[in-house]
Amino acid sequence: MSSLAQRVVLITGASSGIGEHLARELARRGAKVGLLARREDRLETLARALRDDGAAAGWAEADVTDGPGLAAALDGLEAELGPADVVVANAGFGRPEAPGAFKPGRAAGIYDVNLLGALHTIDWALPRFLERRAGHLVGVASVAAFFGFPDHAAYCGSKAALRVHLQSLRLSLRRHGIAVTTICPGFVESELTAKNRFPMPFLWPTDRAARKIADAIAHRRGEVVFPWQMRCALGLLTRLPTGLAEALAGRLPGG
């Protein structure tokens, strides 16, 4: 039997991309999935499809930047599906931030979703997990968390902050019986990457990424970076002298 069977997993950003495919994969493995996002029509369609396949699935409209609203939505899903075993802070987005297209407030908006949205999700989950001395926090960061690539300052910065925040939580919560997993994907097919107008090396299909993430959740891994080619390239880049690393990264195509 899958280690995820009958586990209650709540996922933000579940209406498309990684979140949608992860929900499908976890449901296939027997988990009860709670879907959260802003697009109600997509959530309802996905929940109906999962139920038609015999899975337990619920959904709730929520904006992760609205802390009280998100908490109420999570409360409702927990009442419907049972106490959460795993909470996945997946909601996030990014857009090119080339200096020539600079707009005040755009960077803050990216941080609001990618970082503060994840923190609102953790703020809801953590007291419950601490009370039960059990639970699993999962945060979706990015390979962009390891380096400040050109024309993506807010995306890289927000994902880097999330990655380090989760690392500290992992070390702090281990003795309390709570697992913390950080997911750092490279390029994955999604609505976001479909808008990119630059080469995306080692682009993964979304279902393959979902299987990788589901495996990481099932095995309660600490940090997972994929694909391996990006992991190796980043390992090299972060070990080079700063000036050389920035000279190389500066040649990469931006947005």
Distance in angstroms (rounded) separating the CA atoms of residues 206 and 84: 25
Q: Tell me what the mean pLDDT of segment 68-79 comes to.
A: 98
Distance in angstroms (rounded) separating the CA atoms of residues 227 and 143: 9
User: Is 3 a domain residue?
Assistant: no
CB 32 within 8 Å of CB 57: yes
Q: Which residue has the tokens 């927990």?
A: 78
Q: How many domains does the chain have?
A: 1
Residues of the chain with pLDDT > 90, as a percent, come to: 75
- What pLDDT does 197 receive? 65
User: Is 1 a domain residue?
Assistant: no
User: Is 216 a domain residue?
Assistant: yes
Query: Rounded to 5 degrees, what are φ and ψ at 179?
Result: -90, 150
CA nearest to 52, candidates 42, 44, 60: 44
User: Is 237 a domain residue?
Assistant: yes
Q: Which residue has the tokens 């049972």?
A: 82
Structure tokens at 196: 């990119």
User: Is 255 a domain residue?
Assistant: no
Structure tokens at 186: 């490279």
Distance in angstroms (rounded) separating the CA atoms of residues 117 and 167: 17
161-214 confidence digits (pLDDT tens): 999 999 999 999 999 999 999 999 998 887 676 566 666 777 889 999 999 999
Question: What is the pTM assigned to this prediction?
Answer: 0.91
Q: How many of the other CB atoms lie within 10 Å of CB of 192?
A: 17
Among the options 59, 124, 155, 204, which is catalytic?
Answer: 155
Alpha helices in 53-116 (DSSP H): 67-81, 106-111
DSSP 177: T
Query: Does the active-site annotation cover 155?
Result: yes
> In angstroms, what CA-CA distances link 27 with 43, 52, 170, 196, 243?
14, 11, 26, 30, 47
At a CB cut-off of 8 Å and minimum separation 6, what does 198 contact?
Answer: 253, 254, 255
User: Is 254 a domain residue?
Assistant: no
Average pLDDT, the chain: 92
177-192 confidence digits (pLDDT tens): 999 999 999 988 876 7
User: Is 152 a domain residue?
Assistant: yes
User: Is 150 a domain residue?
Assistant: yes
Distance in angstroms (rounded) separating the CA atoms of residues 176 and 14: 28
Q: Look up the domain containing 117 and give its range.
A: 8-249
CATH number of residue 236's parent domain? 3.40.50.720
Q: In what order do the strands lie in the sheet with 32-37?
A: 57-61, 32-37, 8-12, 86-89, 135-140, 178-185, 223-226
Q: Which residue has the tokens 């369609």?
A: 45
CB 166 within 8 Å of CB 208: no
